[in-house]
Amino acid sequence: MRKVYLTLRCEFDPEGVVRPVEFLWEDGRRFPVDRVLDVRRAVSLKTGGRGIRYTVRVLDREVCLYRDGDRWYLEAP
Amino acid sequence: MSSAATSGLPAPAGSGPLRTILHCDLNNFYASVECLYRPELRDRPVAVCGQKEKRHGIVLAKNMPAKRCGIRTGEAVWQARAKCPDLVTVPPDFPRYLEFSRMVREIYAEYTDRIEPYGIDECWLDLSDRADLRRNAPAFADRLRERVREELGVTLSIGVSWNKVFAKLGSDMKKPDATTVIRPEDFRETVWPLPVDELLFVGRSTGARLRNIGVGTIGRLARLQPDFIRGFLGKWGEYLWMFANGFDASPVERAGAEVPVKGVGNSMTTPRDVVGEEDARMVFRILSESVAERLRRHGFRGRTVQVWLRDVRLASFERQRKLPRCTCLSGEILAAALALYRENWDPALPLRSVGVRVTDLVPADTPVQLDLFDVEVGREREERLERTLDSIRSRFGPDAVQRALLLSDRAFHAHPAEEHVIFPGSRCGAS
């Protein structure tokens, strides 16, 4: 597994809560985030490190996006 | 055994409401954080080691595979490698460890504000005010461990007991990632058979003295006559006796409570051995200037100067002396430190590490008894000069103004006041 850092568009609500909206994959495709299912602090055991884990639905698949400070990444094979 | 009541000691545990105290110890802390960020190292023996070039080349922490190879914290890197040739050594990243320590404490703070840190990786938590949690404290400890493991990727050993000393002992009993409960009804079976050195505050030398008189276990210590142990080890012996019997009533401080500063000190492992008074003067000068600057920065003066010396065989000792007046002047600290060095050390013996510390602190604005012979005028002038140097250094950097003495050997070039972040093993970062 490897860490893929993403260009990500997100939305801040008036309370300051961040919601990822769309991210750009390394091959240039854009993926909209349909729904945020869960947000919690978590470890990314496969690639190492920790951050705030956003479990989101993208094209009917569950994906975990990690926010590490100001950077976002995905665990990819 | 004479009763506690007749010996003037507090009533035994069980006679009042019992507290619920957790001692949480992050397992192999530095090594766990390093392995978290480098998953490829997780199953290999890993040790976090100081920089060899700066002669800090010792093992600061190791992971479980390294522990299984027999590697111990504090041993030299070459010794560790001799035991385990495949050992992976990584440099420490103290800012990251401090960040993890803060995040773990944030989790604790969600449950109680009674959190007392003991170093970077250990804390006591007092749950006595949380009726909901203390009802099943071991189950809470298990949930807390799980939460820290899932959110931060590091593991905890937790001791649960009714006093701080036994809670700490419990967290040492099962590692890693485990909960140990010590109850008033079973501590005689669980705690008393343990070696006496495992009791908090029984150091190497006290442990040896106790073993010399046949006190090898905590239980043997607990069953001694309090009068005897007081006579043998003094007041401190009485405390140890109380701890061994579960009478520790010391409170868990609230999070953020002001810890009174007791002393300001700096130490350094020198880049080469310190031989002779000239070398020693240079090192003491660097340390005294740093200590004096920090005293002034924090608004203190101190009355006692301590020096700490360690030779190349790693044997160390400490000496101290009182000054005629409280000071924050580097010259006076240096003079006292050098006098201690001359009186107690053979300059032909090489030194490896040196420390200077000023204690018996008073606020800098404490009134001063003036001297008939007007010594104070000269001291005030000296202090104005040193404060001016502080402000130049803070604006233009620590090298803006230097002693010519320090130009004679650039190897000793150091700024302990700036580098004062955290020293492993130091129990409260700000000593």
SS (H, E, C) B11-65: CCCCCCCCCCEEEEEECCHHHHHHHHHCHHHCCCCEEEECCCCCCCCEEEEECHH
All structural domains of chain B with their residue ranges? 1-17+184-258, 19-181, 263-419
Question: How much of chain B exceeds pLDDT 90, in percent?
Answer: 53
Q: Are B167 and B115 in contact (CB under 8 A)?
A: no
pLDDT at B348: 84
* ipTM exceeds 0.95, yes or no: no
- Domain B1-17+184-258: CATH superfamily is 5' to 3' exonuclease, C-terminal subdomain (1.10.150.20)
Give the model's pLDDT for residue B10: 45
Cα B190 from Cα B177, distance rounded (Å): 19
Tens digit of each residue's pLDDT (9 = 90 or more) over B346-364: 888 888 889 999 998 888 8
Q: Give pLDDT, residue B136.
A: 92
The length of chain B, given as a count of residues: 431
Instruction: Give yes or no for residue B4 having a pLDDT over 90.
Output: no
Confidence of residue B429 (pLDDT cuts 50, 70, 90): very low
Tens digits of per-residue pLDDT, A36-76? Answer: 999 999 998 888 888 999 999 999 999 999 998 889 999 88
Which H/E stretch holds residue B200?
A: none
The answer to whether A48 contacts B36, with C-beta atoms less than 8 Å apart, is yes
| Host H or E run for residue B362 | strand B351-363
Does residue B374 surpass a pLDDT of 70? Answer: no
Query: CB–CB of A50 and B150 under 8 A?
Result: no
Q: B152 touching A, CB under 8 A? A: yes
Q: Helix, strand or coil for residue B369?
A: coil
Mean pLDDT of B28-56: 88
Contacts of B38 in chain A (CB under 8 A): 48
Q: Which two tokens stand for residue B171?
A: 């967290």
> 3.30.1490.100, 3.30.360.10, 3.40.710.10, 3.40.640.10: which CATH number matches B263-419?
3.30.1490.100
Q: Of B205, B202, B115, give the one whose Cα is nearest residue B164.
A: B115
pTM score of the predicted model: 0.71
Fold for B19-181, please state it.
Answer: Alpha-Beta Plaits (3.30.70)
With H, G, I as helix, E, B as strand and everything else as coil, classify residue B187.
Answer: helix
B152: closest chain A residue by CA: A43
Contact present, B413 and B49 (Cβ < 8 Å): no
pLDDT tens per residue across span B118-176: 989 999 999 999 989 988 999 999 999 999 999 999 999 999 999 999 999 999 999 89
Of the residues B34, B116, B122, B238, only one is catalytic, namely: B122
